[in-house]
Structure 1
Amino acid sequence: MPQLTELLPVEAIRLDAPAPDWQGAIRAAGDLLVANGVSTDAYTQEMLRTVEENGPYIVVAPGFAFAHARPSPAVRHTGMSWVRLVEPVPFGHDTNDPVRLVVALAATDASAHTQAMGALARLLADPETVAALDQAPTPESVRQILVRAEEPDEPAEPSEPAESAEPAATKAAGGSGGSGGTHTILTVCGNGVGTSLFLKSTLDKVLDRWKWSRYINTEATDTISAKGKASEAVAILTSREIARALGDVGVPVRVIEDFTNTKEVDAALRDLYDV
Protein backbone atom coordinates (compact mmCIF):
# COMPACT_ATOMS: atom_id res chain seq x y z
CA MET A 1 0.00 0.00 0.00
CA PRO A 2 1.61 3.31 -1.07
CA GLN A 3 2.86 5.84 1.46
CA LEU A 4 1.83 9.48 1.39
CA THR A 5 5.18 10.60 -0.02
CA GLU A 6 4.97 7.99 -2.78
CA LEU A 7 1.72 9.52 -3.97
CA LEU A 8 2.91 13.11 -3.60
CA PRO A 9 6.25 13.83 -5.28
CA VAL A 10 7.86 17.23 -4.86
CA GLU A 11 6.85 18.09 -8.45
CA ALA A 12 3.19 17.88 -7.39
CA ILE A 13 3.57 20.54 -4.68
CA ARG A 14 2.92 24.20 -5.53
CA LEU A 15 3.19 27.01 -2.98
CA ASP A 16 1.61 30.46 -2.96
CA ALA A 17 -0.51 29.83 -6.03
CA PRO A 18 -3.08 32.45 -7.06
CA ALA A 19 -6.75 31.50 -7.36
CA PRO A 20 -9.72 33.85 -7.78
CA ASP A 21 -12.26 31.44 -6.29
CA TRP A 22 -12.82 27.83 -5.22
CA GLN A 23 -13.11 26.68 -8.81
CA GLY A 24 -9.71 28.18 -9.58
CA ALA A 25 -8.23 26.53 -6.49
CA ILE A 26 -9.44 23.08 -7.59
CA ARG A 27 -8.25 23.70 -11.14
CA ALA A 28 -4.78 24.57 -9.82
CA ALA A 29 -4.65 21.25 -7.97
CA GLY A 30 -6.04 19.42 -11.00
CA ASP A 31 -3.47 21.00 -13.30
CA LEU A 32 -0.70 19.55 -11.13
CA LEU A 33 -2.26 16.08 -11.39
CA VAL A 34 -2.34 16.44 -15.18
CA ALA A 35 1.21 17.79 -15.34
CA ASN A 36 2.48 14.77 -13.41
CA GLY A 37 0.64 12.25 -15.56
CA VAL A 38 -1.78 11.21 -12.81
CA SER A 39 -5.03 12.19 -14.52
CA THR A 40 -6.53 14.08 -17.44
CA ASP A 41 -8.38 17.39 -17.60
CA ALA A 42 -11.62 15.41 -17.51
CA TYR A 43 -10.86 14.37 -13.93
CA THR A 44 -10.43 18.02 -12.91
CA GLN A 45 -13.91 18.67 -14.28
CA GLU A 46 -15.21 15.72 -12.27
CA MET A 47 -13.71 17.20 -9.07
CA LEU A 48 -15.45 20.51 -9.78
CA ARG A 49 -18.74 18.75 -10.51
CA THR A 50 -18.53 16.87 -7.20
CA VAL A 51 -18.63 20.16 -5.28
CA GLU A 52 -21.29 21.63 -7.54
CA GLU A 53 -23.55 18.63 -6.93
CA ASN A 54 -22.82 17.89 -3.25
CA GLY A 55 -21.73 21.23 -1.79
CA PRO A 56 -18.46 22.08 0.00
CA TYR A 57 -18.21 18.85 1.99
CA ILE A 58 -14.60 18.48 0.79
CA VAL A 59 -13.61 21.29 3.19
CA VAL A 60 -12.92 18.81 5.97
CA ALA A 61 -10.95 21.01 8.38
CA PRO A 62 -10.41 24.74 8.93
CA GLY A 63 -8.61 26.13 5.89
CA PHE A 64 -8.25 22.73 4.18
CA ALA A 65 -10.08 21.23 1.19
CA PHE A 66 -9.56 17.68 -0.06
CA ALA A 67 -10.55 17.66 -3.72
CA HIS A 68 -11.39 14.33 -5.36
CA ALA A 69 -13.91 12.47 -7.47
CA ARG A 70 -14.82 8.85 -8.11
CA PRO A 71 -12.30 6.52 -9.76
CA SER A 72 -12.77 6.83 -13.51
CA PRO A 73 -11.00 6.31 -16.85
CA ALA A 74 -9.72 9.90 -16.45
CA VAL A 75 -7.35 8.59 -13.72
CA ARG A 76 -4.15 7.10 -15.13
CA HIS A 77 -2.68 6.06 -11.78
CA THR A 78 -3.25 6.93 -8.14
CA GLY A 79 -1.59 10.16 -7.09
CA MET A 80 -2.00 13.46 -5.28
CA SER A 81 -1.22 17.16 -5.60
CA TRP A 82 -0.72 19.89 -3.01
CA VAL A 83 -1.57 23.57 -3.56
CA ARG A 84 -1.05 26.27 -0.94
CA LEU A 85 -2.83 29.41 -2.07
CA VAL A 86 -1.27 32.84 -1.79
CA GLU A 87 -4.62 34.11 -0.49
CA PRO A 88 -7.38 31.92 0.99
CA VAL A 89 -10.68 31.62 -0.88
CA PRO A 90 -14.19 30.73 0.36
CA PHE A 91 -15.74 27.42 -0.67
CA GLY A 92 -19.07 28.12 1.01
CA HIS A 93 -18.47 25.99 4.11
CA ASP A 94 -20.23 27.21 7.25
CA THR A 95 -17.34 26.69 9.67
CA ASN A 96 -14.12 25.79 7.84
CA ASP A 97 -13.85 28.64 5.30
CA PRO A 98 -11.73 30.24 3.93
CA VAL A 99 -9.46 27.63 2.37
CA ARG A 100 -5.73 28.10 1.88
CA LEU A 101 -4.61 24.49 1.34
CA VAL A 102 -6.08 22.27 -1.38
CA VAL A 103 -4.92 18.67 -1.68
CA ALA A 104 -6.26 16.72 -4.64
CA LEU A 105 -6.49 12.94 -4.92
CA ALA A 106 -6.98 10.89 -8.08
CA ALA A 107 -7.45 7.20 -7.26
CA THR A 108 -7.86 4.12 -9.41
CA ASP A 109 -9.83 2.34 -6.67
CA ALA A 110 -11.33 3.00 -3.26
CA SER A 111 -8.77 1.30 -1.02
CA ALA A 112 -5.17 1.41 -2.22
CA HIS A 113 -4.49 4.83 -0.68
CA THR A 114 -5.98 4.23 2.78
CA GLN A 115 -2.63 4.31 4.57
CA ALA A 116 -1.67 7.59 2.91
CA MET A 117 -4.98 9.17 3.94
CA GLY A 118 -4.39 8.12 7.54
CA ALA A 119 -0.95 9.74 7.51
CA LEU A 120 -2.35 12.96 6.05
CA ALA A 121 -5.18 13.04 8.60
CA ARG A 122 -2.70 12.68 11.47
CA LEU A 123 -0.55 15.43 10.02
CA LEU A 124 -3.41 17.90 9.70
CA ALA A 125 -4.68 17.12 13.20
CA ASP A 126 -1.50 18.57 14.74
CA PRO A 127 -1.59 22.40 15.05
CA GLU A 128 2.21 22.70 15.12
CA THR A 129 2.54 20.68 11.92
CA VAL A 130 -0.18 22.74 10.23
CA ALA A 131 1.66 25.92 11.20
CA ALA A 132 4.92 24.51 9.80
CA LEU A 133 3.22 23.62 6.52
CA ASP A 134 1.73 27.09 6.30
CA GLN A 135 5.19 28.63 6.65
CA ALA A 136 7.23 26.12 4.63
CA PRO A 137 9.26 28.11 2.08
CA THR A 138 9.74 25.44 -0.60
CA PRO A 139 8.08 22.29 -1.94
CA GLU A 140 11.06 20.33 -0.66
CA SER A 141 10.46 21.55 2.88
CA VAL A 142 6.79 20.60 2.65
CA ARG A 143 7.76 17.11 1.58
CA GLN A 144 10.12 16.75 4.54
CA ILE A 145 7.21 17.50 6.86
CA LEU A 146 5.19 14.83 5.06
CA VAL A 147 8.00 12.32 5.58
CA ARG A 148 7.84 12.96 9.32
CA ALA A 149 4.06 12.47 9.25
CA GLU A 150 4.58 8.89 8.12
CA GLU A 151 6.44 8.02 11.30
CA PRO A 152 4.43 5.89 13.77
CA ASP A 153 2.22 7.69 16.26
CA GLU A 154 3.39 8.07 19.83
CA PRO A 155 1.12 6.43 22.42
CA ALA A 156 -2.02 8.51 22.79
CA GLU A 157 -3.19 9.89 26.11
CA PRO A 158 -5.77 7.65 27.81
CA SER A 159 -9.35 8.62 27.07
CA GLU A 160 -11.35 5.54 27.95
CA PRO A 161 -14.92 6.32 28.98
CA ALA A 162 -15.64 2.83 30.26
CA GLU A 163 -12.28 1.11 30.72
CA SER A 164 -12.22 -1.62 28.08
CA ALA A 165 -15.80 -2.80 28.60
CA GLU A 166 -17.88 -3.80 25.60
CA PRO A 167 -20.03 -0.90 24.35
CA ALA A 168 -23.76 -1.15 24.84
CA ALA A 169 -26.11 -0.29 21.99
CA THR A 170 -26.40 3.35 21.01
CA LYS A 171 -29.15 5.50 22.46
CA ALA A 172 -31.05 5.49 19.17
CA ALA A 173 -29.70 2.54 17.22
CA GLY A 174 -32.06 1.63 14.41
CA GLY A 175 -30.31 -1.22 12.60
CA SER A 176 -29.20 -4.71 13.48
CA GLY A 177 -25.76 -3.36 14.27
CA GLY A 178 -27.06 -1.87 17.49
CA SER A 179 -28.24 -5.10 19.11
CA GLY A 180 -25.02 -6.21 20.74
CA GLY A 181 -21.84 -7.93 19.55
CA THR A 182 -19.69 -6.13 17.03
CA HIS A 183 -21.06 -2.77 15.91
CA THR A 184 -20.46 -0.96 12.63
CA ILE A 185 -20.10 2.81 12.21
CA LEU A 186 -20.04 4.27 8.70
CA THR A 187 -18.13 7.38 7.67
CA VAL A 188 -19.65 8.79 4.53
CA CYS A 189 -18.69 11.19 1.74
CA GLY A 190 -19.90 11.75 -1.79
CA ASN A 191 -17.46 9.34 -3.41
CA GLY A 192 -16.21 7.07 -0.63
CA VAL A 193 -12.54 7.43 -1.56
CA GLY A 194 -11.38 10.65 0.11
CA THR A 195 -12.99 12.63 2.89
CA SER A 196 -14.70 9.57 4.38
CA LEU A 197 -11.25 8.00 4.79
CA PHE A 198 -10.09 11.11 6.67
CA LEU A 199 -13.00 10.78 9.06
CA LYS A 200 -12.51 7.03 9.41
CA SER A 201 -8.87 7.59 10.41
CA THR A 202 -9.90 10.02 13.15
CA LEU A 203 -12.68 7.70 14.33
CA ASP A 204 -10.26 4.76 14.48
CA LYS A 205 -7.85 6.85 16.55
CA VAL A 206 -10.55 7.65 19.11
CA LEU A 207 -11.70 4.02 19.28
CA ASP A 208 -8.11 2.92 19.86
CA ARG A 209 -7.88 5.33 22.80
CA TRP A 210 -11.13 3.97 24.19
CA LYS A 211 -9.94 0.38 23.64
CA TRP A 212 -13.17 -0.26 21.73
CA SER A 213 -11.62 -1.12 18.36
CA ARG A 214 -12.28 -4.83 18.87
CA TYR A 215 -15.99 -4.14 19.24
CA ILE A 216 -16.62 -1.54 16.51
CA ASN A 217 -15.97 -1.93 12.80
CA THR A 218 -15.51 1.31 10.87
CA GLU A 219 -16.18 1.58 7.15
CA ALA A 220 -15.66 4.51 4.77
CA THR A 221 -18.26 4.59 2.03
CA ASP A 222 -20.15 6.81 -0.40
CA THR A 223 -23.60 8.33 -0.15
CA ILE A 224 -25.39 5.81 -2.36
CA SER A 225 -23.84 2.77 -0.68
CA ALA A 226 -24.45 4.20 2.80
CA LYS A 227 -28.21 4.16 2.26
CA GLY A 228 -28.07 0.43 1.60
CA LYS A 229 -25.63 -0.31 4.42
CA ALA A 230 -27.33 1.81 7.08
CA SER A 231 -29.51 -1.06 8.32
CA GLU A 232 -26.35 -2.94 9.30
CA ALA A 233 -24.82 0.00 11.18
CA VAL A 234 -25.40 1.65 14.54
CA ALA A 235 -24.54 5.15 13.32
CA ILE A 236 -23.18 7.31 10.51
CA LEU A 237 -20.62 10.09 10.87
CA THR A 238 -20.43 12.58 8.00
CA SER A 239 -20.48 16.22 6.92
CA ARG A 240 -23.48 18.52 7.10
CA GLU A 241 -23.93 18.50 3.32
CA ILE A 242 -23.84 14.72 3.03
CA ALA A 243 -26.16 14.34 6.03
CA ARG A 244 -28.75 16.40 4.16
CA ALA A 245 -28.31 14.23 1.07
CA LEU A 246 -28.73 11.03 3.11
CA GLY A 247 -31.93 12.13 4.84
CA ASP A 248 -33.56 9.66 7.25
CA VAL A 249 -31.72 6.33 6.95
CA GLY A 250 -33.09 4.77 10.15
CA VAL A 251 -29.93 5.15 12.26
CA PRO A 252 -28.37 8.15 14.04
CA VAL A 253 -26.43 10.48 11.74
CA ARG A 254 -23.89 12.72 13.47
CA VAL A 255 -22.42 15.74 11.69
CA ILE A 256 -18.68 16.31 12.12
CA GLU A 257 -17.38 19.73 11.10
CA ASP A 258 -13.63 19.05 11.42
CA PHE A 259 -12.74 15.58 10.18
CA THR A 260 -9.29 15.74 11.81
CA ASN A 261 -10.56 16.73 15.27
CA THR A 262 -10.47 13.80 17.72
CA LYS A 263 -12.29 15.83 20.39
CA GLU A 264 -15.27 16.40 18.10
CA VAL A 265 -15.44 12.72 17.15
CA ASP A 266 -15.00 11.73 20.80
CA ALA A 267 -17.99 13.90 21.74
CA ALA A 268 -20.12 12.35 18.98
CA LEU A 269 -19.31 8.84 20.23
CA ARG A 270 -20.10 9.77 23.82
CA ASP A 271 -23.48 11.07 22.71
CA LEU A 272 -24.19 7.96 20.64
CA TYR A 273 -23.28 5.55 23.43
CA ASP A 274 -24.44 7.76 26.33
CA VAL A 275 -21.06 7.65 28.12
Structure 2
Amino acid sequence: MAALSDLLPLAAVRLDVPAADWREAIRVAGGLLVETEATTDAYTDEMIRNVEDNGPYLVIAPGFALAHARPSPAVRRTGLSWVRLQQPVEFGHEANDPVHLVVGLAAQDSGAHTAAMAALAKLLADPVTARALRDAAGPEELHAVLAGPTGEGADRPRGGPAVHKILTVCGNGVGTSLFLKNTLEQVLDRWGWSRHVTVEATDTISARGKASEAVAILTSREIARTLGELAVPVKVVEDFTSGPEVDRVLRDTYDV
Protein backbone atom coordinates (compact mmCIF):
# COMPACT_ATOMS: atom_id res chain seq x y z
CA MET A 1 0.00 0.00 0.00
CA ALA A 2 1.36 3.40 -1.00
CA ALA A 3 1.95 6.00 1.71
CA LEU A 4 1.18 9.70 1.47
CA SER A 5 4.78 10.71 0.86
CA ASP A 6 4.96 8.23 -2.02
CA LEU A 7 1.86 9.58 -3.72
CA LEU A 8 2.49 13.30 -3.17
CA PRO A 9 5.83 14.50 -4.56
CA LEU A 10 7.07 17.95 -3.59
CA ALA A 11 6.45 19.10 -7.16
CA ALA A 12 2.73 18.43 -6.67
CA VAL A 13 2.42 20.90 -3.78
CA ARG A 14 1.43 24.54 -4.30
CA LEU A 15 0.77 26.91 -1.41
CA ASP A 16 -1.14 30.21 -1.34
CA VAL A 17 -2.38 29.90 -4.92
CA PRO A 18 -4.87 32.48 -6.26
CA ALA A 19 -8.06 31.03 -7.77
CA ALA A 20 -11.16 32.90 -8.92
CA ASP A 21 -13.59 30.01 -8.31
CA TRP A 22 -13.84 26.28 -7.67
CA ARG A 23 -13.24 25.34 -11.29
CA GLU A 24 -9.97 27.24 -11.35
CA ALA A 25 -8.96 25.67 -8.02
CA ILE A 26 -9.55 22.18 -9.43
CA ARG A 27 -7.67 23.10 -12.59
CA VAL A 28 -4.64 24.02 -10.48
CA ALA A 29 -4.85 20.68 -8.64
CA GLY A 30 -5.31 18.86 -11.94
CA GLY A 31 -2.43 20.73 -13.54
CA LEU A 32 -0.10 19.50 -10.80
CA LEU A 33 -1.20 15.92 -11.43
CA VAL A 34 -0.34 16.44 -15.10
CA GLU A 35 3.03 18.04 -14.31
CA THR A 36 4.00 15.12 -12.09
CA GLU A 37 2.87 12.65 -14.80
CA ALA A 38 0.05 11.13 -12.77
CA THR A 39 -2.63 12.08 -15.31
CA THR A 40 -3.34 13.65 -18.66
CA ASP A 41 -5.22 16.93 -19.11
CA ALA A 42 -8.40 14.95 -19.71
CA TYR A 43 -8.52 13.93 -16.05
CA THR A 44 -8.79 17.56 -14.92
CA ASP A 45 -11.89 17.93 -17.08
CA GLU A 46 -13.27 14.72 -15.57
CA MET A 47 -12.80 16.09 -12.03
CA ILE A 48 -14.68 19.27 -12.92
CA ARG A 49 -17.43 17.30 -14.62
CA ASN A 50 -17.75 15.15 -11.48
CA VAL A 51 -18.74 18.25 -9.48
CA GLU A 52 -21.03 19.49 -12.24
CA ASP A 53 -22.81 16.11 -12.39
CA ASN A 54 -22.85 15.14 -8.70
CA GLY A 55 -22.64 18.42 -6.83
CA PRO A 56 -20.07 19.54 -4.23
CA TYR A 57 -20.13 16.31 -2.21
CA LEU A 58 -16.33 16.18 -2.41
CA VAL A 59 -16.12 19.08 0.06
CA ILE A 60 -15.89 16.51 2.82
CA ALA A 61 -14.88 18.71 5.75
CA PRO A 62 -14.95 22.44 6.56
CA GLY A 63 -12.63 24.15 4.09
CA PHE A 64 -11.40 20.90 2.48
CA ALA A 65 -12.22 19.48 -0.97
CA LEU A 66 -10.95 16.14 -2.29
CA ALA A 67 -11.09 16.64 -6.07
CA HIS A 68 -11.23 13.38 -8.01
CA ALA A 69 -13.03 11.38 -10.67
CA ARG A 70 -13.44 7.72 -11.51
CA PRO A 71 -10.39 5.68 -12.56
CA SER A 72 -10.01 6.17 -16.31
CA PRO A 73 -7.46 5.97 -19.14
CA ALA A 74 -6.56 9.57 -18.26
CA VAL A 75 -4.87 8.29 -15.07
CA ARG A 76 -1.28 7.22 -15.70
CA ARG A 77 -0.48 6.35 -12.09
CA THR A 78 -2.08 6.79 -8.68
CA GLY A 79 -1.08 10.16 -7.25
CA LEU A 80 -2.03 13.24 -5.23
CA SER A 81 -1.68 16.99 -5.55
CA TRP A 82 -2.01 19.58 -2.78
CA VAL A 83 -3.27 23.15 -3.34
CA ARG A 84 -3.63 25.64 -0.52
CA LEU A 85 -5.56 28.63 -1.80
CA GLN A 86 -4.60 32.24 -1.20
CA GLN A 87 -8.27 33.07 -0.66
CA PRO A 88 -11.01 30.48 -0.07
CA VAL A 89 -13.58 29.79 -2.80
CA GLU A 90 -17.17 28.61 -2.76
CA PHE A 91 -18.01 25.14 -4.08
CA GLY A 92 -21.70 25.41 -3.20
CA HIS A 93 -21.60 23.07 -0.20
CA GLU A 94 -24.28 23.83 2.39
CA ALA A 95 -22.09 23.23 5.45
CA ASN A 96 -18.39 23.09 4.54
CA ASP A 97 -17.82 26.14 2.29
CA PRO A 98 -15.64 28.10 1.73
CA VAL A 99 -12.74 25.87 0.65
CA HIS A 100 -9.12 26.78 1.31
CA LEU A 101 -7.50 23.37 0.64
CA VAL A 102 -7.97 21.29 -2.50
CA VAL A 103 -6.31 17.88 -2.68
CA GLY A 104 -6.37 16.28 -6.12
CA LEU A 105 -6.62 12.48 -6.24
CA ALA A 106 -5.97 10.32 -9.28
CA ALA A 107 -6.54 6.60 -8.71
CA GLN A 108 -5.78 3.80 -11.15
CA ASP A 109 -8.04 1.47 -9.19
CA SER A 110 -10.06 1.37 -5.99
CA GLY A 111 -7.32 -0.12 -3.81
CA ALA A 112 -3.92 1.38 -4.56
CA HIS A 113 -4.45 4.50 -2.45
CA THR A 114 -6.59 3.15 0.39
CA ALA A 115 -3.89 3.36 3.07
CA ALA A 116 -2.92 6.87 2.02
CA MET A 117 -6.51 8.08 2.21
CA ALA A 118 -6.90 6.58 5.67
CA ALA A 119 -3.68 8.27 6.80
CA LEU A 120 -4.72 11.64 5.36
CA ALA A 121 -8.12 11.40 7.05
CA LYS A 122 -6.42 10.80 10.41
CA LEU A 123 -4.09 13.74 9.89
CA LEU A 124 -6.91 16.15 9.03
CA ALA A 125 -9.05 14.89 11.92
CA ASP A 126 -6.32 15.78 14.42
CA PRO A 127 -6.55 19.53 15.21
CA VAL A 128 -2.83 19.97 15.91
CA THR A 129 -1.70 18.20 12.75
CA ALA A 130 -4.36 19.88 10.64
CA ARG A 131 -3.11 23.26 11.88
CA ALA A 132 0.47 22.31 11.03
CA LEU A 133 -0.60 21.37 7.51
CA ARG A 134 -2.60 24.58 7.14
CA ASP A 135 0.26 26.78 8.35
CA ALA A 136 3.18 25.03 6.62
CA ALA A 137 5.61 27.64 5.27
CA GLY A 138 6.59 25.63 2.19
CA PRO A 139 6.24 22.29 0.39
CA GLU A 140 9.13 20.71 2.31
CA GLU A 141 7.60 21.57 5.69
CA LEU A 142 4.19 20.29 4.61
CA HIS A 143 5.73 17.10 3.23
CA ALA A 144 7.52 16.51 6.54
CA VAL A 145 4.19 16.65 8.40
CA LEU A 146 2.60 14.23 5.95
CA ALA A 147 5.55 11.85 6.20
CA GLY A 148 5.41 11.68 10.00
CA PRO A 149 4.44 8.54 11.94
CA THR A 150 0.70 9.26 11.65
CA GLY A 151 0.89 10.00 7.96
CA GLU A 152 2.67 6.78 7.11
CA GLY A 153 0.17 4.54 8.85
CA ALA A 154 -1.40 1.68 6.91
CA ASP A 155 -4.74 -0.04 7.16
CA ARG A 156 -4.57 -2.68 9.84
CA PRO A 157 -6.33 -6.00 9.41
CA ARG A 158 -9.82 -6.03 10.80
CA GLY A 159 -10.49 -9.52 12.08
CA GLY A 160 -13.46 -11.31 13.52
CA PRO A 161 -16.90 -12.10 12.18
CA ALA A 162 -19.02 -9.15 11.05
CA VAL A 163 -22.72 -9.22 11.78
CA HIS A 164 -23.74 -5.90 10.21
CA LYS A 165 -22.54 -3.91 7.20
CA ILE A 166 -22.60 -0.14 6.76
CA LEU A 167 -21.92 1.43 3.37
CA THR A 168 -20.10 4.73 2.96
CA VAL A 169 -20.92 6.18 -0.44
CA CYS A 170 -19.52 8.80 -2.80
CA GLY A 171 -19.90 9.44 -6.50
CA ASN A 172 -16.98 7.28 -7.54
CA GLY A 173 -16.22 5.03 -4.59
CA VAL A 174 -12.48 5.78 -4.58
CA GLY A 175 -12.06 9.03 -2.64
CA THR A 176 -14.44 10.68 -0.21
CA SER A 177 -16.15 7.42 0.75
CA LEU A 178 -12.77 6.14 2.00
CA PHE A 179 -12.43 9.18 4.27
CA LEU A 180 -15.83 8.50 5.78
CA LYS A 181 -15.08 4.77 6.06
CA ASN A 182 -11.91 5.50 8.02
CA THR A 183 -13.69 7.85 10.43
CA LEU A 184 -16.53 5.39 10.96
CA GLU A 185 -14.09 2.55 11.65
CA GLN A 186 -12.32 4.68 14.28
CA VAL A 187 -15.65 5.29 16.01
CA LEU A 188 -16.50 1.59 15.85
CA ASP A 189 -13.10 0.81 17.39
CA ARG A 190 -13.81 3.18 20.29
CA TRP A 191 -17.19 1.54 20.81
CA GLY A 192 -15.67 -1.94 20.71
CA TRP A 193 -17.93 -2.83 17.80
CA SER A 194 -15.27 -3.47 15.14
CA ARG A 195 -15.79 -7.22 15.27
CA HIS A 196 -19.52 -6.85 14.71
CA VAL A 197 -19.83 -4.16 12.02
CA THR A 198 -17.99 -4.06 8.72
CA VAL A 199 -17.72 -0.89 6.64
CA GLU A 200 -17.55 -0.86 2.84
CA ALA A 201 -16.77 2.19 0.72
CA THR A 202 -18.57 2.21 -2.60
CA ASP A 203 -20.05 4.38 -5.38
CA THR A 204 -23.64 5.47 -5.98
CA ILE A 205 -24.41 2.84 -8.62
CA SER A 206 -23.05 -0.07 -6.58
CA ALA A 207 -24.70 1.24 -3.41
CA ARG A 208 -28.16 0.76 -4.85
CA GLY A 209 -27.42 -2.91 -5.52
CA LYS A 210 -25.72 -3.45 -2.17
CA ALA A 211 -28.26 -1.59 -0.05
CA SER A 212 -30.09 -4.79 0.86
CA GLU A 213 -26.89 -6.11 2.48
CA ALA A 214 -26.49 -3.08 4.76
CA VAL A 215 -28.12 -1.75 7.91
CA ALA A 216 -27.46 1.84 6.83
CA ILE A 217 -25.75 4.06 4.28
CA LEU A 218 -23.62 7.03 5.35
CA THR A 219 -22.95 9.71 2.76
CA SER A 220 -23.06 13.42 1.92
CA ARG A 221 -26.25 15.42 1.49
CA GLU A 222 -25.69 15.68 -2.28
CA ILE A 223 -25.18 11.94 -2.76
CA ALA A 224 -28.15 11.15 -0.49
CA ARG A 225 -30.35 13.10 -2.89
CA THR A 226 -28.90 11.15 -5.81
CA LEU A 227 -29.55 7.79 -4.14
CA GLY A 228 -33.21 8.60 -3.49
CA GLU A 229 -35.42 6.20 -1.55
CA LEU A 230 -33.76 2.91 -0.57
CA ALA A 231 -34.77 0.00 1.63
CA VAL A 232 -32.27 1.06 4.34
CA PRO A 233 -31.75 4.38 6.15
CA VAL A 234 -29.51 6.88 4.38
CA LYS A 235 -27.69 9.04 6.94
CA VAL A 236 -26.12 12.38 6.02
CA VAL A 237 -22.66 13.31 7.34
CA GLU A 238 -21.43 16.87 6.75
CA ASP A 239 -17.81 16.51 7.97
CA PHE A 240 -16.29 13.21 6.88
CA THR A 241 -13.32 13.67 9.24
CA SER A 242 -15.37 14.42 12.37
CA GLY A 243 -15.47 11.55 14.85
CA PRO A 244 -18.07 13.27 17.06
CA GLU A 245 -20.46 13.80 14.13
CA VAL A 246 -20.08 10.21 12.91
CA ASP A 247 -20.55 9.04 16.51
CA ARG A 248 -23.88 10.91 16.64
CA VAL A 249 -24.99 9.43 13.32
CA LEU A 250 -24.05 5.92 14.45
CA ARG A 251 -25.96 6.38 17.71
CA ASP A 252 -28.99 7.52 15.73
CA THR A 253 -28.66 4.51 13.41
CA TYR A 254 -28.64 2.03 16.29
CA ASP A 255 -30.82 4.12 18.65
CA VAL A 256 -28.26 4.03 21.46
> Taking structure 1 as the reference length, what is the TM-score of the superposition?
0.89
CA deviation string 1:152-189 (max 9, x = no partner): 59xxxxxxxxxxxxxxxxxxxxxxxxxxx710000000
Give the total of aligned pairs.
248
Aligned amino acid, residue 262 of structure 1 = G
The residue aligned with 1:6 is 6
**Structure 1 residues 242-261: aligned runs within 5 Å:** 242-261=223-242
1:228 to 167, 190, 209: 209
**Structure 1 residues 20-169: aligned runs within 5 Å:** 20-148=20-148, 149-150=150-151
Unaligned runs of 5+ in 1: 154-180
Residue 19 of structure 1 aligns to a residue whose secondary structure is: coil
Alignment RMSD: 1.1
Unaligned runs of 5+ in 2: 155-161
Residue 249 of structure 2 aligns to a residue whose secondary structure is: helix
Residue 60 of structure 1 aligns to a residue whose secondary structure is: strand
Aligned amino acid, residue 53 of structure 2 = E
The residue aligned with 1:169 is none
CA deviation string 1:14-40 (max 9, x = no partner): 001110000000000000000000000
> Taking structure 2 as the reference length, what is the TM-score of the superposition?
0.95
Aligned amino acid, residue 150 of structure 1 = G
Contact 2:91/2:97 (CA < 8 Å) preserved in 1?
A: yes
Contact 2:56/2:222 (CA < 8 Å) preserved in 1?
A: yes
Structure 1 pair 225–63 and aligned structure 2 pair: CA distance change class (3 A): same
Q: Tell me the distance in 2 between the aligned counterparts of 1:244 and 1:50.
A: 15
CA deviation string 1:224-243 (max 9, x = no partner): 00000000100000000000
Structure 1 pair 151–72 and aligned structure 2 pair: CA distance change class (3 A): closer
1:241 paired to 2:241? no
CA deviation string 1:190-238 (max 9, x = no partner): 0000000000000010011111111111000000000000001000000
**Structure 1 residues 204-215: aligned runs within 5 Å:** 204-215=185-196
Contact 2:115/2:153 (CA < 8 Å) preserved in 1?
A: no
Larger Rg: 1
1:217 to 198, 207, 225: 198
1:264 to 221, 232, 245: 245
